[in-house]
């Protein structure tokens, strides 16, 4: 009887070992919900960052794009969230990743307190706005590198002392505006204005010309044409802005510089994506989300538009630590 018991225990142990190895050999399943469309440069960067981490690990991914940068109505966001939830249930992932604020608001919040591990990425608002962190949700925020931006701007234009910020009126910009209002910076911030009305955007830019030294351009992707009420092409918004603004302009995003703004100090989406994917792997390998603190990348990139500098009569200092582009 003793030998039988001993042999039985060994057999059970071997079966458990085989089952354990089998489970570990199965690829992890990760479903990713992106707030915006796949062609959006920020999303491309986020995906590149995720792939950099996942490519050498056994991970199967499925993606859903909410497209809320081009389509901004509440009805659209709700419909996309419902579609995402259906696909998530069908895919049956081991972990959910959500990218940027609309995915946090409309999808991730539905998983608060559940058994589904969730990692967020690119969040502009304070996590508490969505009820995060929770036992099953952690992630990466997109902190505003404003002091680094001001330092860079003053290297280009040393006498800047008073600035104002312009943005569209979106969930993303609301989070950025909140961060900016709470930060201590070595310049006076006259105003932070958010609007989706193009006429108000234009009149504000024009009114600021003799009131401040520089204009910070944040997001401008949900501006609507005043006459038609339709969403405008962001590059058209910036075309008017750079043609009519005679002050140095700056941003916290690289796309604004490529659209014509003078300079930017920004955190690339690659960093967001790779950090979030690394957290996801930790959780997939057994770590609890509540053991992982919410964090954010800190290393920014300096970018300056040479054509805009010439247009504004600004001479870029020789040897400046920045990437210089021409439109």
- Which of these, 26, 103, 85, lies nearest to 284 by C-alpha position? 26
Burial of 93 (0-12, 13-18, 19+ CB in 10 A): buried
Secondary structure letter of residue 230 according to DSSP: P
Same domain, 237 and 256: yes
The per-residue pLDDT for 327 is 64
Question: How confident is the model over 84-114, as pLDDT tens digits?
Answer: 999 999 999 999 999 999 999 999 999 999 9
Same domain, 176 and 77: no
**214 lies in some domain:** yes
Averaged pLDDT for residues 123-134? 92
The CATH number for 213's domain is: 3.40.50.2300
The answer to whether 65 touches 87, Cβ cutoff 8 Å, is: no
Q: Residue 190 — φ and ψ, nearest 5°?
A: -70, -45
The answer to whether 180 touches 155, Cβ cutoff 8 Å, is: no
The per-residue pLDDT for 13 is 45
Question: Has residue 306 got a pLDDT over 80?
Answer: yes
The answer to whether 266 touches 253, Cβ cutoff 8 Å, is: yes
Averaged pLDDT for residues 251-257? 92
What does the mean pLDDT of the chain come to?
A: 90
**22 lies in some domain:** yes
The per-residue pLDDT for 5 is 53
How far apart CA 106 and CA 75 sit, in angstroms, is 11
Averaged pLDDT for residues 147-167? 94
Same domain, 29 and 95: yes
Same domain, 236 and 100: no
Same domain, 22 and 42: yes
Q: At what angle do helices 41-54 and 269-284 cross, to 10 degrees?
A: 40
**41 lies in some domain:** yes
Supply the range of the domain harboring residue 312. Answer: 146-266+301-325
C-alpha dist (Å) from residue 186 to 167, 183, 196, 255: 21, 10, 29, 25
Burial of 166 (0-12, 13-18, 19+ CB in 10 A): buried
Span of 3-12, 242-251, 314-323 with lowest mean pLDDT: 3-12
Same domain, 241 and 211: yes
Could you tell me the pTM of the whole model? 0.75
**296 lies in some domain:** no
State how many domains the chain has. Answer: 2
The per-residue pLDDT for 25 is 60
How far apart CA 141 and CA 73 sit, in angstroms, is 24
Same domain, 240 and 153: yes
The per-residue pLDDT for 185 is 86
Span of 5-9, 27-31, 280-284, 313-317 with lowest mean pLDDT: 5-9
| Strand ranges for the chain from DSSP E | 28-34, 59-65, 95-99, 118-123, 137-141, 162-167, 188-194, 214-217, 249-251, 263-266, 301-305, 323-325
Same domain, 125 and 6: yes
Same domain, 173 and 236: yes
**121 lies in some domain:** yes
Same domain, 39 and 96: yes
The answer to whether 36 touches 124, Cβ cutoff 8 Å, is: no
Same domain, 280 and 261: no
Same domain, 114 and 187: no
* Tally of residues, the chain: 327
**17 lies in some domain:** yes
């Amino acid at each position: 009887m003793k030998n039988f018991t001993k042999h039985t225990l060994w057999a059970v142990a071997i079966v458990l070992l085989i089952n354990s190895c089998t489970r570990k050999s199965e690829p992890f399943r990760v479903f990713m919900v992106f707030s915006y469309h796949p062609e959006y440069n920020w999303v491309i960067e986020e995906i590149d960052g995720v792939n950099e981490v996942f490519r050498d690990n056994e991970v199967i991914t499925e993606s859903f794009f909410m497209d809320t940068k081009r389509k901004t109505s509440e009805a659209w966001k709700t419909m996309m969230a419902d579609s995402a939830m259906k696909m998530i249930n069908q895919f049956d992932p081991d972990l959910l990743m959500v990218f940027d604020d609309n995915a946090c608001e409309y999808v991730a919040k539905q998983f608060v307190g559940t058994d589904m591990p969730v990692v967020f990425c690119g969040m502009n608002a304070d996590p508490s706005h969505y009820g995060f962190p929770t036992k099953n949700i952690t992630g990466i925020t997109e902190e505003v590198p404003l002091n680094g931006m001001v330092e860079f701007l003053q290297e280009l234009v040393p006498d800047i002392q008073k600035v104002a910020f312009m943005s569209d009126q979106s969930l993303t910009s609301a989070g950025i505006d909140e961060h900016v209002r709470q930060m201590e910076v070595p310049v006076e911030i006259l105003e932070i204005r958010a609007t989706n009305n193009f006429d108000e955007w234009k009149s504000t830019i024009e009114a600021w010309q003799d009131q401040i030294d520089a204009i910070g351009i944040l997001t401008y992707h949900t501006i609507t044409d005043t006459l038609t009420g339709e969403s405008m092409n962001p590059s058209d918004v910036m075309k008017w802005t750079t043609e009519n603004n005679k002050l140095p302009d700056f941003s916290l995003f690289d796309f604004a510089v490529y659209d014509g703004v003078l300079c930017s100090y920004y955190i690339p989406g690659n960093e967001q994506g790779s950090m979030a994917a690394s957290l996801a792997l930790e959780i997939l390998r057994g770590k609890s989300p509540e053991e992982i603190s919410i964090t954010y990348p800190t290393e920014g990139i300096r970018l300056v538009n040479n054509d805009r500098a010439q247009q504004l009569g600004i001479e870029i200092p020789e040897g400046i630590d920045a990437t210089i582009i021409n439109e």
